[in-house]
Amino acid sequence: MDKNQSSTIYTGDIVAEQIDPNKEYTTENQEIIFSEEQHAIWADLFDGIHKPYLLEHLCSEYNQGLELLQLDPDHIPTVKYLNERITPRSGWRIERTVVRYTLADDWYKKFANRTFLITDYLRTRDQMEFTPEPDMFHDIFGHLPFLTQKFYAEIEDKFAPAYMKATREEREIIKRLAWYSTEFGLVTQENRFKVFGAGIISGRKELTRTIMEFYRLGRDNVIDYTQDVYEQLYQHFLANKKNLHRIIDGVNSVHQKGQMSSADQGWNVVLSLYKNLGIKQEGIFGGEVIIAPFDIDMISRIPKTVYAFNPMLFVCESLAKMDELLESYLGPIAARN
């Protein structure tokens, strides 16, 4: 975000931060002494999500990784602690950065070296339910349990080689594929929708809104959970593809004007959009988010990552299928000479 803009306007643009290179962390200088209040914020964030009735909606791989990582619920972990539990298992290492929004080119250069960046920024008390930019709680609690496992490392390994060889247009698609998989992706497991993306997992408002949509789909008879849930969702997707395109186009138009600068404001904008487009708020359009199958062509229509509000989430029928779909787009690009 442009630091000269109002702190309440998010258009999805990322402008390079003017960071004094002398303030950036070095390989040797990675640790921070956190204040009691920062540890207290971490503890409250952790406790707000680490609930059985929320964790049961997260994919099994996340819960397995959380057990392996053994995060202290009351204290922010050191980089040394994280690397001791991640590097031997997946080959990735963690580094701290002063940058809050890392530009994609810099991010993928680190990814190419199997380095995952965590920011030194922690959200404030007034952002406990929702933060418009990734902080260290998101980075650590949302992503790092997955990085204890090779399957996730292998998914992350796909992005940088393709990004480095991609055209400018392809790079935009690659960023969106990463956003709607590892950040805001869903999967089906045991014939239920489960949360996979770290952006949903680490934000209580995002997580509870998504879980409520799972229940609404059953309550409103959109999905029969005694039958194949993914197949039903796919049929709804085919029947409503035209309106999904119209909503994507409309959301991007208003978002780029800064009209979706918070989760609540964003939802009100989407409601108005439905009305203006003549789309009834029912069926797959009846909740606060739309769940659609993970479709590369559909995701490619989204011109810009929606940072402040995600009106649409994409679900894969399995993590193996997600890996296959990502490989189908990223693999040929990475293989170029």
pLDDT of residue 138: 96
**Which burial class, exposed, middle or buried, applies to 111 when counting CB atoms under 10 A from its CB (0-12, 13-18, 19+)?**
buried
pLDDT attached to residue 46: 98
Say how far apart CA 131 and CA 39 lie, in whole Å: 17
Is residue 204 in some structural domain? yes
Q: What is the CATH number of the domain that holds 86?
A: 1.10.800.10
The pLDDT value given to residue 2: 35
Q: 282 lies in which domain range?
A: 21-334
* 286 lies in some domain: yes
Residue 309: predicted pLDDT: 53
Q: Is 314 helix (H, G, I), strand (E, B) or coil?
A: strand
From first to last of its 337 residues, the chain has per-residue pLDDT tens of 333 333 444 455 555 566 677 788 888 889 999 999 999 999 999 999 999 999 999 999 999 999 999 999 999 999 999 999 999 999 999 999 987 766 677 788 899 999 999 999 999 998 888 777 789 999 999 999 999 999 999 999 999 999 999 999 999 899 999 999 999 999 999 999 999 999 999 999 889 999 999 999 999 999 999 999 999 999 999 999 999 999 888 877 777 676 655 555 666 777 888 899 999 999 999 998 899 999 999 998 886 655 445 678 999 999 999 999 999 999 999 999 8
Contact 91, 114 (CB under 8 A): yes
**What is the reported pLDDT for 40?**
98
Q: Are 250 and 256 in contact (CB under 8 A)?
A: no
pLDDT of res. 308:
44
Note whether 51 and 309 are within 8 A (CB): no
pLDDT of residue 252: 77
Q: Does residue 1 lie within any of the structural domains?
A: no
| CB of 185 closer than 8 Å to CB of 314 | yes
Residue 2 lies in a domain: no
Q: Scanning the structure block, which residue is given the tokens 């698609």?
A: 173
Share in percent of the chain as helix, strand, coil (round to 5): 55, 10, 35
Question: How many folded domains does the chain comprise?
Answer: 1
Helices 150-165 and 319-334 pack at an angle, to 10 degrees, of 30
14 domain-assigned: no
Element housing 195 (H / E): strand 192-195
Give domain status of residue 284, yes or no: yes
Is 11 within the bounds of a domain? Answer: no
Token couple for 90: 């997946």
CA atoms within 13 A on the CB side of 271: 8
Neighbours of 18 (CB within 10 A): 6
Q: In this structure, is residue 102 part of a structural domain?
A: yes
In this prediction, residue 5 carries a pLDDT of: 36
